[in-house]
Structure 1
């Protein structure tokens, strides 16, 4: 690879919210390795809040997930507008972090000096050859729950001669003043002091990764019985809100609940202000890592090595089932994961107390 410094770079990650948040160290590493570089991102529009306000991200370009549902002319108009915006930036580096064909097309159209993408097998020999020829370099993807996703992202930079430092590896998330003020007002409205609460976000968009309602209720009741302040949060989807409603019916004492009331920036601010976070493999767990909030993370069928909290104070809880991590939609497709059900509330409470003591946040109330 050329040793000439990069002036402008485009990092592409067309995946879900957590995947996008975990790209942050790529921007920080590039900024550290090439002082003065301008780095843009290309993500799906619903995930852009994961990167906006990041100190090393100049502009977040977006693609709408709904573009594919538009008519041919409307699609062409939107993609042409995106292409013109990207072309005007004159990138000399493209870092493509998935196997999405958009990255290959853009690398061919924008013609940067250097372009790097994962080395993947496409669905035919011809497609694989086209993919390979679209980039100047490709990096191997170590799968099978053997390497953290952040390090897999950073492998793209290692492949082109850029080694991350320890200082550039942590995640970053900036909620912003407006989100912080909004959350403070919402907490005040429920009589909760900032910094004095334990946040429990028990749900995931994939409910088979969620701990049983009864277990969460037992944990919450144990915390409130000893005087800890608990705040609940969840996404605004009907499935998650219904789950929270079931939980609240089982609680011995009422707790503050901001479920379905927060933007992504506000959720990040809420997590940043907590004494500790308790949840499952989900975007909020990654936000806890990005804000250095101590987290207890429960993992069932998903890979804890690949997706666990990154470089932040945490306790990661699993049960030694020989079949995990299976990545399946519950045991036998039942939406219920036995490896999660087997985790007891008593163990989670003990791990939480140990983490609070370890991080100097053990004084409750």
Structure 2
């Protein structure tokens, strides 16, 4: 038995901190569900970056979502200090009994000290000094050897304090909201696309070295259209991503519904939920599709599918046979182009799509 387990029955409020990117934040969603399931009386809050808040807002297990705006640093020292003070005041008034810190960000260590939280758990990071080691009451080890999916790594923080998740509690949770779902149905109807009558393709990633060559994506879409599939394409409102989509779609005839740069995170989730299938890269939209239980075909290159693959959803994960992958580099030799992705043929992706569409 775990000798230093934390008795949740004696706690009132918990703060879960995940200051990372969109997909990382979504992969923490089971942590909130498990806490609430095991201790329904708890109020569980989240602290995330403001631009990622929609990944967790409306989550039924979360009481409040607090945010840090990355733009505070650009607003001058006085405004930044003022904004930080307001956040700290809000957190102080919540009187947390437990902090679960899910990254190596130093803010979590500072908050456990400043807020005077009795119980706290974070990653064990041997390279960190005394300040980190003395900031938390509990530490969970990071996996050694075989990679571990990040959902399970996040849940390890709960296992370390004596909370053991059941298999049924580990699902991703993302709630678009009824109004957003209704709006997406209207937009699809205007485009002449039926629910469950299209394939959702998100060809880009915020890291372009994780993307398939544009020519191969064009060939894939053309082949799918020739097979009679309707295609809806999305991308973030980022200049590089929008340029990539223009290059992909330019050689094609009419028929693709292009929603690139037009959707919020909640709208993207609602769209994915209505699709027959999602095709994309290792990216936040891939995790969003998995959270919406939409079957996923995903291409992995320099990043690791064991840690970041689609979670608990029908899937086909396509990788090359390169012995050097997953390397984690920004393209081969740091050249921004990942040859392992280019080695994945259009025919393999088409076969993967067909296999998933045949599943009942």
Instruction: Tell me the TM-score range normalised by the shorter chain.
Output: over 0.9
Q: Which residue in 2 is equivalent to 1:363? A: none
CA drift of 1:87 comes to 1.0
Using a 3 Å threshold, how does the CA distance of structure 1 residues 121 and 65 change in structure 2: closer, same or farther?
farther
List runs of 5+ in structure 1 lacking aligned partners: 361-365
CA drift of 1:178 comes to 2.0
- Picking from 3, 15, 19, the partner of 2:7 is 3
Taking the aligned partners of 1:143 and 1:181, their CA distance within structure 2 comes to 45
Taking the aligned partners of 1:75 and 1:239, their CA distance within structure 2 comes to 29
Q: Which residue in 1 is equivalent to 2:209? A: 208
CA drift of 1:4 comes to 4.7
Using a 3 Å threshold, how does the CA distance of structure 1 residues 178 and 103 change in structure 2: closer, same or farther?
same
1:70 aligned to 2:71? no
Taking the aligned partners of 2:314 and 2:119, their CA distance within structure 1 comes to 36
- Asked if the contact 2:6/2:162 (under 8 Å) is kept, the reply is no
What SS class does the counterpart of residue 348 from structure 2 fall into?
helix
Q: Which residue in 2 is equivalent to 1:164? A: 165
Q: Which residue in 2 is equivalent to 1:17? A: 22
- Asked if the contact 1:145/1:306 (under 8 Å) is kept, the reply is no
Q: Which residue in 2 is equivalent to 1:114? A: 119
CA displacement, residues 287-333 of structure 1 (integer Å, 9 cap, x when unaligned): 01101100001100101101000111111111111100011111122
Taking the aligned partners of 2:249 and 2:145, their CA distance within structure 1 comes to 37
Q: Which residue in 1 is equivalent to 2:193? A: 192
Using a 3 Å threshold, how does the CA distance of structure 1 residues 2 and 335 change in structure 2: closer, same or farther?
closer
- Asked if the contact 1:145/1:304 (under 8 Å) is kept, the reply is no
Q: Which residue in 2 is equivalent to 1:301? A: 302
1:81 aligned to 2:82? no
Q: Which residue in 2 is equivalent to 1:314? A: 315
Using a 3 Å threshold, how does the CA distance of structure 1 residues 288 and 144 change in structure 2: closer, same or farther?
farther
What SS class does the counterpart of residue 279 from structure 1 fall into?
strand
Taking the aligned partners of 1:68 and 1:152, their CA distance within structure 2 comes to 30
CA drift of 1:144 comes to 6.8
- Asked if the contact 2:8/2:39 (under 8 Å) is kept, the reply is no
Q: Which residue in 2 is equivalent to 1:32? A: 37
What SS class does the counterpart of residue 244 from structure 1 fall into?
helix
Q: Which residue in 2 is equivalent to 1:256? A: 257
Using a 3 Å threshold, how does the CA distance of structure 1 residues 197 and 289 change in structure 2: closer, same or farther?
same
Taking the aligned partners of 2:249 and 2:159, their CA distance within structure 1 comes to 48
1:268 aligned to 2:233? no
Q: Which residue in 2 is equivalent to 1:58? A: 63
RMSD in angstroms over aligned alpha carbons? 1.3
- Asked if the contact 2:113/2:135 (under 8 Å) is kept, the reply is yes
What SS class does the counterpart of residue 88 from structure 1 fall into?
helix
List runs of 5+ in structure 2 lacking aligned partners: none
Taking the aligned partners of 2:46 and 2:8, their CA distance within structure 1 comes to 22
What SS class does the counterpart of residue 35 from structure 2 fall into?
helix
CA drift of 1:113 comes to 2.4
1:103 aligned to 2:108? yes
CA drift of 1:252 comes to 4.2
